[in-house]
Amino acid sequence: MPTHPYTACITGANAGIGLELTRKLLHEGWQVIAINRSEFPTDDTHIQQATQSRQLRPYTVTDLADYDSLRTVLHQIQQQEQQIDVLFNNAGRSFSELSYSRQGRELHYELMTVVPYIILMELRQLLQRSTLRTVINTSSSAFQFTRSISNDTLKRPQRFRKLIGPYASSKLALSLWTKAAAPSFANEGILLRSVDPGGNNTLRKGKNSGLPLLVKPLMKLFFPPPTHGAEQLYQGAIGIHRDQRGVFISKGKIAKLKFSDQAQEIWQQVQAIYEQEYKVGKVTLP
């Protein structure tokens, strides 16, 4: 198998879409940096061989939404890795009830809107050293059900609905800051895009999915396997839209974003959280 000159960094790489994307990239010879809360499947021979050969380099994080834990893993990557061609901000989860991060913000928003921006900012120099300099943020078309969005309700929602509540609005906020921040990052050659991987059957036995009751049987019967979503993210990175910046890609096409007039405001809050909270306790490299 030929060795690919590119290196990808994938969050949430050990299950679902992230695992299938990892498998695909390894098969094509990419180097893969993985940021996971738990281990890769021990019965996957290819994954285990790639880990042993250091083609796959896993980094374990206790909780991505906890800044102390996040700082530790990002510090390790800054010290040990040389470059990142494509950053796949893929980690996410649909929670079953209203929950809050250690920092006091709604957990979907913290994990799927704020944390991807922190990871981008902290791994920015590794992206600058690479060839592709691309960031793919995993979004969702679930936000088509979102009727309004604001910084206040993102941080502390007044109500909770599975999938089409805080989950959907957090994914919309992710795509909005991607759109707003893209021109600034493009000035240094880094291209940001958000991609909807589409509906995928990512149900796992013993895991509380946080999905509405009626969605689960539909997912089992009609949704494609997570290889479908992995291909969507892959094409979003190096496919026909590889030169685009700030766009939202759904079903392989550039799609319109709701509430684009609020994109700048959403980005400003995420940037403020990074500057005023995360960086305060930042580990200083020697």
Q: What is the pLDDT of residues 96-106, one digit of tens each?
A: 899 999 999 99
Q: How confident is the model at residue 286 (pLDDT cuts 50, 70, 90)?
A: very low
pLDDT above 90 coverage of the chain, percent:
79
What does the pLDDT look like over 224-260, one tens digit per residue? Answer: 678 999 999 999 999 999 999 999 999 999 999 999 9
Q: How far apart are CA 250 and CA 246, in angstroms?
A: 13
pLDDT score for 152? 97
CB neighbours of residue 282 within 10 Å: 13
Q: How far apart are CA 31 and CA 28, in angstroms?
A: 9
CATH 3.40.50.720 corresponds to the domain 7-281: yes
Instruction: Burial-class residue 151 by CB neighbours within 10 Å (0-12, 13-18, 19+).
Output: middle
Report the chain's mean pLDDT, rounded to a whole number: 90
Q: How far apart are CA 1 and CA 21, in angstroms?
A: 17
The continuous run of DSSP H or E covering 135 comes out as strand 134-138
Q: How confident is the model at residue 15 (pLDDT cuts 50, 70, 90)?
A: very high
What does the pLDDT look like over 152-179, one tens digit per residue? Answer: 999 999 888 887 889 999 999 999 999 9
Question: Is the model's pLDDT at 131 over the cut of 50?
Answer: yes
SS3 250: strand
Domain assignments of the chain as residue spans, ordered by start: 7-281
Q: pTM to 2 decimals?
A: 0.91
Q: How far apart are CA 208 and CA 193, in angstroms?
A: 29
Q: How far apart are CA 210 and CA 239, in angstroms?
A: 32
